[in-house]
């Protein structure tokens, strides 16, 4: 290949890369605008949420001293409100995603123990209630582990045993 042909090929490659860069910059600009818009909406929603709580507590007088949970005479002391508020606060602290890894049921006990320790740490961090742990884990079983779980459920049903409802019982099975 002559020097002129190499130069021509490099120039075409340069033009191609420049076009790709411009396209990526345009996508980046678009995504920044979307993110900016989304953040504005979220801030606006958070401000309106906090201002509505402040205006609600200003009506009660006593609520300002005791907080929105203790002295409230409106619907704010209902269990539904407290659960919703608790969930909102938990979501604030869990802004990043922590997921339970899938388990395929390989025969390596070290892999299983490592997976089990990870699961326990995620349960502890996310404060997963005991009655939900078994269901969450059942969703994360794949291949051989999923077959084992299905067979275990079938076997327990044939024997007239109840469903596995707690994580401690499942770990012992």
Predicted confidence (pLDDT) at residue 68 exceeds the cutoff of 80: no
Predicted confidence (pLDDT) at residue 142 exceeds the cutoff of 60: yes
Residue 25 structure tokens: 């910059």
Q: Is 60 helix (H, G, I), strand (E, B) or coil?
A: helix
Bridge partners of residue 96, in order along the sequence: none
The whole-number average pLDDT for the span 23-49 is 84
What's the CA gap between 70 and 63, in Å, rounded? 7
Distances (CA, A) of 87 to 42, 80, 97, 113: 17, 11, 15, 31
What's the CA gap between 71 and 64, in Å, rounded? 8
State the pLDDT at residue 66. Answer: 39
The proportion of the chain whose per-residue pLDDT surpasses 90, expressed as a percent, equals: 16
Predicted confidence (pLDDT) per residue in 80-132, tens digit: 655 665 565 555 555 567 888 898 888 888 888 999 999 999 988 888 888 89
């Amino acid at each position: 290949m002559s020097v002129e042909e190499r130069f021509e090929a490099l120039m075409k490659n340069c033009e191609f890369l420049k076009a790709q860069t411009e396209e990526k910059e345009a996508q980046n600009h678009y995504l920044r605008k979307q993110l900016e818009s989304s953040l504005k909406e979220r801030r606006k929603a958070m401000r309106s949420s906090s201002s509505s709580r402040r205006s609600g507590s200003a009506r009660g007088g006593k609520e300002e001293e005791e907080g929105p949970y203790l002295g409230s005479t409106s619907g704010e002391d209902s269990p539904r409100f407290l659960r919703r508020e608790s969930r909102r606060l938990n979501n604030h602290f869990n802004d990043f995603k922590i997921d339970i890894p899938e388990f395929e049921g390989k025969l390596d006990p070290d892999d299983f123990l490592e997976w089990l320790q990870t699961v326990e740490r995620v349960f502890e961090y996310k404060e997963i209630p005991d009655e939900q742990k078994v269901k969450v884990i059942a969703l994360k079983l794949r291949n051989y582990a999923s077959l084992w779980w299905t067979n275990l459920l079938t076997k327990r049903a044939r024997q007239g045993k109840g469903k596995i409802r707690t994580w401690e019982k499942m770990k012992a099975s």
